[in-house]
Amino acid sequence: MADTERSIFSRIIAGEIPADVVFDSDRLIAFRDIAPKARLHLLVVPKTEEYRDVAELAAGDPGLLAELVATAKHLAEEHSDGDFRLIFNTGAGAGQTVFHVHAHVLSDNGGESLREGSLAEL
């Protein structure tokens, strides 16, 4: 894959672009969003470029999807109060701008901004 085709997440994983990394394993990386929509806004990203969105990931590697969700839960417990919103944008019409599957982990430590009915624009 040519450099121009690699996603920003692939470049972060390769160490070409700096990020505030909070978790790094063999299969996943998590870092703080550069434009946070909540007190805690992390991105959890599989290190593989194979899957463009969560539907592809679920079909192709459900074990990796389960690992991603478990990691999101762990990070919300470690960095916040344990309550969190997990968001996957799938497709440009749903707000996906980077076509390398990733989850947004948002938490506000019990504040009002993430209550039911208040969808953050991601």
Secondary structure E strands in the chain: 21-24, 28-32, 40-46, 85-87, 103-107
What residues form DSSP beta bridges with 14?
none
Q: What is the Cα–Cα distance from 117 to 98, expressed in whole angstroms?
A: 25
| Annotated active-site residue in 41, 79, 102, 104 | 102
Cβ proximity of 44 and 101 under 8 Å: no
Give yes or no: 102 in active site.
Answer: yes
Task: Quickly list H helices, the chain.
Answer: 8-13, 54-60, 62-79
Catalytic annotation, residues: 102
